[in-house]
Homo-oligomer: A and B are copies of this chain.
């Protein structure tokens, strides 16, 4: 019955409580702003951004699901809704006709281009602007160490560029 549990020290408990509070609050804060200003959940925003950054603005459903930490059924439902709104298009993959490719449309690019500034502003206001440059570096290292446990094959962090002028640049291509 393993009564030899290594309980948390005061320091560990305090840090953990704060981390879990962030994990609880952050998704809601991001969803709230994006839903209010662009009618998109954070998940939909990330999915659209991933497509915008992909070569030919196109990606396989499986690949997109992996990058966004979604199950394939979940992505399938979300993709149907985004397609109904005209933000993406789906078509069978020529090379492997089992597969489906998703492409972001012009309307989708328009939407994320409009949404990006407000989202970046929220990211700054809720997190980044609260940290010193030193803390930003520390956060990078700490989060890297944690993700080595939570996401060993780096599915979620493989995305090249989620911000800067990503969407606008994709636009020009």
Question: Which of A127, A135, A157 has the most chain B CB within a 10 Å cutoff?
Answer: A127
Chain A interface residue bracket vs B: 35 or more
When chains A and B are docked, how far (Å) is the Cα of A20 from the Cα of B161? 14
Please provide the chain A residues from 112 to 166 with a CB less than 8 Å away from any CB of chain B in the complex. Answer: 116-117, 120-121, 123-128, 130-131, 133, 135-151, 156-157, 159, 161-165
Given contacts A8-B123, A18-B147, A25-B69, 10 further A-B contacts (CB under 8 A): A7-B165, A13-B162, A15-B136, A16-B127, A18-B140, A18-B157, A20-B30, A25-B156, A130-B148, A138-B138
When chains A and B are docked, how far (Å) is the Cα of A141 from the Cα of B142? 12
Q: Could you name 25 residue pairs across A and B whose Cβ atoms are closer than 8 Å?
A: A2-B117, A5-B120, A11-B140, A12-B136, A12-B163, A13-B162, A13-B163, A13-B164, A17-B156, A17-B159, A18-B139, A19-B22, A19-B127, A21-B156, A22-B23, A23-B23, A23-B26, A28-B69, A29-B150, A126-B150, A127-B150, A130-B149, A131-B142, A131-B145, A135-B142
The closest CB in chain B to the CB of A3 belongs to B117
Flag whether A24 is at the interface (Cβ < 8 A).
yes
Closest 5 CB pairs of A and B: A18-B143, A21-B156, A5-B117, A8-B163, A15-B140
Q: Mark A100-114, 1 if CB is under 8 A from B, else 0.
A: 000000000000000
For the residues of A in contact with B, the DSSP-based class is helix
The closest CB in chain B to the CB of A164 belongs to B7
Kindly list chain B residues whose C-beta atoms are within 8 Å of the C-beta of A11: 133, 136-137, 140
